[in-house]
Amino acid sequence: MDMTTIFGDYTAFAPMLILMVSALLLPGVQMLTKRRTVTWAFAFVMTIVAMAVNIIMLTGDFTGSSLGLVEYDGFTGLMNALFLAVLFLAVLVSNASVETTRLHVGAYYALMIGATVGMMFVASSSDLLTIFVGVELTSISSYALVALKRNDARSAEAAVKYVIIGGMSTALTLYGISMLYGLTGTTVIADIANNLTEMNWMVAIAFISMIAGYGFKIAAGPFHMWAPDVYEGAATPVSMFLATGSKKMGLAVFIQIFMVLFAAGTTCADIIGEEVQYLFAIIAAITMTVGNIVAIAQNNIKRMLAYSSIAQAGYILIILAVMNEYALTAGLFHMITHVFMKGGAFLIVGALICVGLGEKISDYKGLAKRAPFLAFAMMLFLFSLAGIPPLAGFTSKFFLFSSAIGGVDGVTSQWVWLAFVAILNSAISLYYYARVVKAMYIEKGTTTEKVKIPAAFMVAIVICVLAVIVLGIFPDAVFELCEGAAAVVMG
Amino acid sequence: MLILIPLIGAIITLFMGGSKQKYAKYVAAVFTLITLVLTLFMMVNYFEDYSVLGENYAWIQTSLIQISFALEVDGLSILMVFLTALLSLLVVIFSVHDADEDRPNYFHALVLAMEVGLMGVYLAADYFLFYVMWEVTLIPMYFMISWYGGPRRHYAAIKFFIYTHVASLVMLIGIFAMGFQAGTMNGGVVDFSFATINSLMPMTSEAFQALVFALLFFGFAVKMPAVPFHTWLPDAHTEAPTGGSVLLAGVMLKMGSYGIIRVCLEALPLGAEYWQWVIIGIAILSMIYGAYGCIAQTDLKKMVAFSSISHMGMVMLGIGCLTEAGIMFAIFQMFAHGLITGILFMVCGMTGHKVGTREIPLLGGLAGKMPMYALFMMIGFMASLGLPGLVGFWGEFPLIFAFYEFLVEQDLLWMILFCLLSLMLTAGYYLWAMQRTLFGPETTKIDLTHAHDVSKCEGIALAVLVALVAVFGVWPDAALQFIEPYTEWIIGVI
């Protein structure tokens, strides 16, 4: 099906357009019907429509631009698909989750969809200003989403922390962007890449403040402190949404800006490329190490997953140190597998909260007896995160870590140390994932009463399980999409 | 096929909970038996023309990376495949009563899952698949120790898991390096198959080979395990259930030495030459330290665990010679040790189960009460210390002879003393342990009224192993014929 016959000049904009319209309509739907489930169904159907449109465009190799603002290509399509998958999972379970029963659901879904539009906007822009706008749209929606649990003190604390740190990072990035604009007279990334011909302290400050600013968004070390509090305080579907979706947006920003700026042959790469690569390598190493080591000490499973998310962002940052097409392919693939394994783990936590189980790891004792399938699924997700074959997390880590050792051009010794750090981290992470598995399977619980979770959660978890297994064993198709997307970004 | 059948079996037994769980053992036995029969067919087939048998399916094929689901069997792997199939079946038979006590369906599912992983490791002809299977063996073993193990099982299981996982990750880096290096030499396509990598790698520079060899060797040496990376083994063995120990020592440790020959020697011959003395040093250290460790143990099973370290050290010594005889008998010793440790760990397991303790100082005079048990134990110990006529002899003495030849060439004959020392210690600790447990006055320190002799199923499993130990002891050629064409070929590579 050709989408241009329906959307005309706005085709590149189509998936976003559908979501935007539904986000605007959602509070009205809630007002008129006063029924939670109707509102949910509307949001859910619109998500599926947007996803279908995007998949048709992606598989049809659509490329084009709208309004001179939004561009759609293989990379955009892939990232859109990823963001929509996150939205799909989050919306799917939201109606069933007890954590959302007392919320204003019209606003809840509108904000979630709005945040997704922001992410997609980021993935479709090639201009610093539009990227900035997209990031802000996502951030502001997320602040409100976290704060929506009005009666919960933890939620309020998380939201305040999130707003303050988010505001600071916004200020930093804006500062960096304005400096770059002052130096080059443009905000189009590809033009900046070739207009920047001279190294001076202004360039350095501009890059540092942008890296720091967007580093906050992906919770890269040492800018990660907010993440565990926010994920712990927010409703679990929201935590899942933030940990898998909005973090990927931050990474997409890095890819969109820095991979283009420092692609081979730009003047920008000549003057500061190597320094920035090293900076990213150090940030990646710090991020994964801090994430993994602190995760060991956590007793709250949401916090543990939050720190493991930080570590995973660290792994993905390897692509910005290595900066070649193979690494980017592997990184994109890891971003996709991460959605399902981390998303699945958060979904199980959310589902168990619905049936009254706590968030402590000790609450999971004996879960294998109480809910064999859930325990098994959780084990799959955690082992996948740790990189145990033949699960998706192993396959994507295999490609990602290997990119630090070499590529199709042979072995490059420059980043081997980074691969070592990553692999040691991977081993550390096995320890805290295995703790949860041990609690579920080996330790005896206080009760053997069976657990029954809402059907919507079950569906979402089954989707994640299938994805984790299929992407692990048959990664071909998705990996090829990633290859295509990486080729687009690297020109 | 050999991978698929245990996999199906594992899935079926896994779901045989509740009232059906007492039938799990029959299902497991049938599936392991089918696998063994298929293996035997394959061996006969292989024997006819010595050709390399294999299957190959495209798996992950993109423009950058090519990974295939390739399986192959040759002279190096065929005996290991046989050992895996045999020991899996015997473990199922042996554990019939033990396992029935607690969730037998899970126990048998784990045995079958182990078989899947082990078969995969020995059959894989693609580095990606090899690594995947290598890691797949970890998970069932982890659960086997932590569900069915002794009192300190949680500690032992997690130690085993993390220790060997770290080692395999280091190995993975080595695999990456080889893959990419081969990719450049191959015109930009990264192909992880054994065929491509093992044919291109020997052409690389010595520095590169030495570096990659070190990474891979570390991964394999931890698995073997070689001193000083052995500490996970005694813990894992002491806590593991008997069936787990048999598979762990009988087949899983061989993954390490298999990997050294398959990967390190085939792909990186210059690296092997570069590190030759380090290999020999580690081998001698393992042999002697393992044997000393045995003397110090009071737990019968821990003693056998240390003896595994010592015997695997001998395998490494053979590999370290880099001569045809050395490698040939190293492979034979892997096979022989697999059969013998099977007996030893079954006997140890029975001691714990029937007598109630495995502490040697508490035991004594068991031969009167349990004659069959004593007989099996004696045969096991004798075979392990290298009594002529049993399979252990053909594992050990030709190895020492190969080392001797190697030393004559190097003009370092005094080093043979290390071997003699280790042999003396081995004979010493086995005889001493036997004397203290089996003979002398019947112990009064523990209650022996409930000690029964070998049961029927246990007897069958042990008798099969003893028969094989004896058959290969008088007719080692039966096994050597499989190995010989392979060693001839690999010596050409080196």
* Residue A410, helix vs strand vs coil: strand
Q: Helices B75-94 and B104-123: crossing angle, nearest 10°? A: 170
Residue of A nearest to B189 (CA): A408
Predicted confidence (pLDDT) per residue in B224-237, tens digit: 888 888 888 888 88
Residue of A nearest to B171 (CA): A423
Residue A453's H or E segment, with its range, is: none
Contact at CB, B154 and A416, closer than 8 angstroms = no
* Residue A360, helix vs strand vs coil: strand
* Shortest alpha-carbon distance between residue A469 and chain B (Å): 13
Residues of chain A contacting B158 with CB distance shorter than 8 Å: 431, 434, 438
Region of A149 please: left (phi>0), alpha (psi -120 to 50) or beta. Answer: beta
Per-residue pLDDT at A47 exceeds 90: yes
Contact at CB, A389 and B147, closer than 8 angstroms = no
Residue A20 near residue A120 (C-beta atoms within 8 A):
no
Q: What is the pLDDT of residue B22?
A: 66
How far is Cα A185 from Cα A331, in angstroms, rounded to an integer?
A: 32
The radius of gyration of chain B from alpha carbons, rounded to an integer in Å, stands at 22
* Shortest alpha-carbon distance between residue A100 and chain B (Å): 36
Cα end-to-end span (Å), chain A: 28
Q: Give mean pLDDT, residues A169-190.
A: 90
Length of chain B in residues, anyone? 494
* Shortest alpha-carbon distance between residue B68 and chain A (Å): 11
Contact at CB, A411 and B189, closer than 8 angstroms = no
Say how many CB pairs under 8 Å bridge A and B. Answer: 97
Q: Give mean pLDDT, residues A175-188.
A: 89
Q: What is the pLDDT of residue A265?
A: 73
Residue B121 near residue B114 (C-beta atoms within 8 A):
no
Residues of chain A contacting B65 with CB distance shorter than 8 Å: 399
- Percentage with pLDDT > 70 across chain A: 98
Q: What is the pLDDT of residue A136?
A: 93
Residues 145-174 of A with CB under 8 A from B: none
Nearest of A256, A36, A229, A245 to residue A137 by alpha carbon: A245
Closest Cβ opposite residue A410 in set B62, B135, B181: B181
Residues of chain A contacting B189 with CB distance shorter than 8 Å: 408
Best of A398, A436, A438 to disrupt the B interface (most B CBs within 10 Å) is A398
Closest Cβ opposite residue B60 in set A394, A441, A475: A475
Residues 2-21 of A with CB under 8 A from B: none
Q: What is the pLDDT of residue A141?
A: 92
* Shortest alpha-carbon distance between residue A450 and chain B (Å): 15
Residues of chain A contacting B62 with CB distance shorter than 8 Å: 476, 479-480, 483
Per-residue pLDDT at A111 exceeds 70: yes
Contact at CB, B180 and A407, closer than 8 angstroms = yes
Q: Does the N-terminal peptide bond of residue B228 adopt cis geometry, omega within 30 degrees of 0?
A: yes
Contact at CB, A399 and B60, closer than 8 angstroms = no
Contact at CB, A410 and B138, closer than 8 angstroms = no
Q: Which amino acid is at A99?
A: E
How far is Cα B335 from Cα B459, in angstroms, rounded to an integer?
A: 22
Residues of chain B contacting A442 with CB distance shorter than 8 Å: 146-147, 154
Q: Which amino acid is at B63?
A: S
Q: Which amino acid is at B216?
A: L
Residues of chain A contacting B63 with CB distance shorter than 8 Å: 483
DSSP state of A126: -
Nearest of A181, A77, A71, A201 to residue A128 by alpha carbon: A181
Predicted confidence (pLDDT) per residue in A217-272, tens digit: 888 878 888 888 898 888 888 999 998 988 899 999 999 888 888 877 778 777 78
How far is Cα B380 from Cα B371, in angstroms, rounded to an integer?
A: 14
Contact at CB, B135 and A389, closer than 8 angstroms = yes
How far is Cα A12 from Cα A24, in angstroms, rounded to an integer?
A: 20
Residues of chain A contacting B60 with CB distance shorter than 8 Å: 395, 474-476, 479
SS (H, E, C) chain B: CCCHHHHHHHHHHHCCCHHHHHHHHHHHHHHHHHHHHHHHHHHHHHHHHCCCEEEEEEEEECCCEEEEEEEEECHHHHHHHHHHHHHHHHHHHHCHHHHHCCCHHHHHHHHHHHHHHHHHHHHECEHHHHHHHHHHCHHHHHHHHHHHCCCCHHHHHHHHHHHHHHHHHHHHHHHHHHHHHHHHHCCCCEECEHHHHHHHHHHCCHHHHHHHHHHHHHHHHHHCCCCCCCCHHHHHHHHCCHHHHHHHHHHHHHHHHHHHHHHHHHHCHHHHHHCHHHHHHHHHHHHHHHHHHHHHCCEHHHHHHHHHHHHHHHHHHHHHHCCHHHHHHHHHHHHHHHHHHHHHHHHHHHHHHHHCCCEHHHCCCHHHHCHHHHHHHHHHHHHHHCCCCCHHHHHHHHHHHHHHHHHHHHCCHHHHHHHHHHHHHHHHHHHHHHHHHHCCCCCCCCCCCCCCCCCHHHHHHHHHHHHHHHHHHHCCHHHHHHHHHHHHHHHHHC
Residue A405 near residue A415 (C-beta atoms within 8 A):
yes
Contact at CB, A431 and B154, closer than 8 angstroms = no
Q: Which residues contact A142 (CB under 8 A, 6 or more apart)?
A: A111, A115, A162, A166, A242, A246
* Residue A268, helix vs strand vs coil: helix
Residue of B nearest to A373 (CA): B15
Closest Cβ opposite residue A483 in set B62, B135, B139: B62
Nearest of A93, A134, A97, A94 to residue A116 by alpha carbon: A134
Residues of chain A contacting B128 with CB distance shorter than 8 Å: 398
The torsion of the CA quartet B258, B261, B266, B267, rounded to 10 degrees, works out to 80
Residues of chain B contacting A327 with CB distance shorter than 8 Å: none
Q: Give mean pLDDT, residues A82-95.
A: 92
Q: Does the N-terminal peptide bond of residue B140 adopt cis geometry, omega within 30 degrees of 0?
A: no
Predicted confidence (pLDDT) per residue in A374-421, tens digit: 999 999 999 999 988 889 999 899 889 888 887 666 667 688 889 889
Best of A288, A397, A402, A414 to disrupt the B interface (most B CBs within 10 Å) is A402
Q: What is the pLDDT of residue A33?
A: 86
How far is Cα B294 from Cα B234, in angstroms, rounded to an integer?
A: 11
Residue A299's H or E segment, with its range, is: none
Residue A454, both tokens: 């809402």
Judged by a CB distance cut-off of 8 A, whether residue A396 touches chain B is no
Q: What is the pLDDT of residue B4?
A: 64
Closest Cβ opposite residue A430 in set B165, B180, B183: B165
Nearest of A105, A118, A95 to residue A27 by alpha carbon: A105
Contact at CB, B181 and A411, closer than 8 angstroms = yes
* Residue A381, helix vs strand vs coil: helix
Residue A65's H or E segment, with its range, is: strand A64-66
Judged by a CB distance cut-off of 8 A, whether residue A326 touches chain B is yes
Residues of chain B contacting A419 with CB distance shorter than 8 Å: 173, 176
Residue B465, both tokens: 């192993």
Predicted-complex ipTM score? 0.80
Residue ranges per domain, chain A?
4-489
Residues of chain A contacting B183 with CB distance shorter than 8 Å: 406, 408, 410
Residue of A nearest to B176 (CA): A402
Burial class (CB in 10 A: 0-12, 13-18, 19+), A225: middle
Residue B333 near residue B318 (C-beta atoms within 8 A):
yes
Residues of chain A contacting B139 with CB distance shorter than 8 Å: 383, 388
Residues of chain B contacting A373 with CB distance shorter than 8 Å: none
Q: What is the pLDDT of residue B7?
A: 67
Residue A217 near residue A250 (C-beta atoms within 8 A):
yes
Contact at CB, B64 and A329, closer than 8 angstroms = yes
Across all residues in chain A, what is the average pLDDT? Answer: 88
Closest Cβ opposite residue B62 in set A420, A441, A476: A476
Residue ranges per domain, chain B?
279-494
* Residue A439, helix vs strand vs coil: helix
Residues of chain A contacting B147 with CB distance shorter than 8 Å: 441-442
How far is Cα B450 from Cα B456, in angstroms, rounded to an integer?
A: 17
Residue A55 near residue A470 (C-beta atoms within 8 A):
no
Predicted confidence (pLDDT) per residue in A311-364, tens digit: 999 999 999 988 888 889 999 999 999 999 999 999 999 999 888 888 888 888
**A212 vs B51, higher pLDDT:** A212
Cα-based angle A221, A301, A421 (whole degrees, multiple of 5) = 35
Strand partners, A66: A70
Q: Which amino acid is at A449?
A: E
Neighbours of B267 (CB within 10 A): 26
Residue B158, both tokens: 């997690």
Judged by a CB distance cut-off of 8 A, whether residue A433 touches chain B is no
Contact at CB, A410 and B184, closer than 8 angstroms = yes
* Shortest alpha-carbon distance between residue B135 and chain A (Å): 6
Cα end-to-end span (Å), chain B: 32
- Percentage with pLDDT > 90 across chain A: 40
Residue A255 near residue A192 (C-beta atoms within 8 A):
no
How far is Cα B444 from Cα B363, in angstroms, rounded to an integer?
A: 9
Low-confidence ranges of chain B (pLDDT < 70): 1-22, 49-53, 63, 98-102, 188, 449-450
Best of A385, A388, A411, A431 to disrupt the B interface (most B CBs within 10 Å) is A411
Predicted confidence (pLDDT) per residue in B188-222, tens digit: 677 888 888 888 888 888 888 888 899 999 999 99
Residue of B nearest to A329 (CA): B64
DSSP state of A293: H
Q: What is the pLDDT of residue B16?
A: 56
DSSP state of A445: P
Region of A73 please: left (phi>0), alpha (psi -120 to 50) or beta. Answer: beta
Contact at CB, B188 and A399, closer than 8 angstroms = no
Q: How confident is the model at residue A94 (pLDDT cuts 50, 70, 90)?
A: confident
Residues 471-490 of A with CB under 8 A from B: 474-476, 479-480, 483
Residues of chain B contacting A407 with CB distance shorter than 8 Å: 180
Q: Which amino acid is at B173?
A: I
Kindly list the distances between the CA atom of residue B341 and the CA atoms of B84, B97, B242, B306, in Å, as whole numbers in the listed order.
13, 21, 11, 11
Q: What is the pLDDT of residue A1?
A: 60
Query: What is the 3-state composition of chain A as percent helix, strand, coil, each rounded to the nearest 5?
Result: 80, 5, 20
Highest-confidence segment of A146-155, A392-401, A437-446: A392-401
